[in-house]
Copies of this chain bind each other. A is one copy, B any other.
């Protein structure tokens, strides 16, 4: 197409190229979901419909961006990890980041009613996102562990808090009690006051949702009518602990020491 004399303004553009050989982590997080979850009456502390919707969006992102090999999500956020070798969009920061968050948001709005039933979407939710480089496996595992531990810490706190409030405590009182209580203390409150064994609560609430790109065996029929087993690319959903080595040995996603 013809050019104009104004086209030189494209030279002001600048998109950082992310360092080679690094895992690229894109973390998407809901903007003002404190208000959004309250306006849409998410159940507390966890709304399984809302979480399922987040997971659905993340699955769609993984289907779309084939260099993502693992993702972890909880609350209003999801982190997507690209292979070290990815050359997606020439590793351009803004281009990758905007494409992921846009695709995620589009799915969130599109599938809202599929997951949230008759709760109408009152206004458009949005997400921010960032891209971070992690140069080695240790740093990457620490990143994912950070998110999973954070999920646990928040869930333990929120489970206590909302049970206490449901039992009649004021929010101020509940917060006051919890601020001086360590992890053991919170487990104790749940057990003694509410007869809840924290470890039997749903894994999705305690560990978040992990999506793993892997191969699964699949029966296929040959033209001659025999069945044989083929390995098929797929994305599976799990809520396992990813902090310990077992997870990484099981899934063989990255080189291990």
Contacts and interface: CB of A to CB of B under 8 A. Distances in A.
Interface of A: 1-2, 4, 6-17, 19-22, 28, 31, 60, 93-95, 97-99, 101-110, 121, 124-136, 139, 142-143, 145-146, 149-150, 153-154, 157, 183
Q: Is the interface of A mostly helix, strand, loop or mixed?
A: helix
A19 B157 CA distance: 34
Given A107-B124, A135-B22, A139-B12, A129 B153 contact: no
Q: How many copies does the complex hold?
A: 4
Contact of A110 (B7, B109, B134): B109
Contacts of A154: 1
A134 B12 contact: yes
A22 B20 contact: no
A6 B10 CA distance: 33
Nearest to A107: B124
A106 B125 contact: yes
Contacts of A6: 142-143, 145-146, 149
A20 B11 contact: yes
Contacts of A109: 105-106, 109-110
Nearest 3 A-B pairs (CB), nearest first?
A135-B135, A6-B146, A106-B124
A109 B121 CA distance: 12
7 contacts: A12-B132, A93-B94, A94-B129, A98-B130, A102-B105, A106-B125, A110-B124
A16 to B, nearest CB: 7
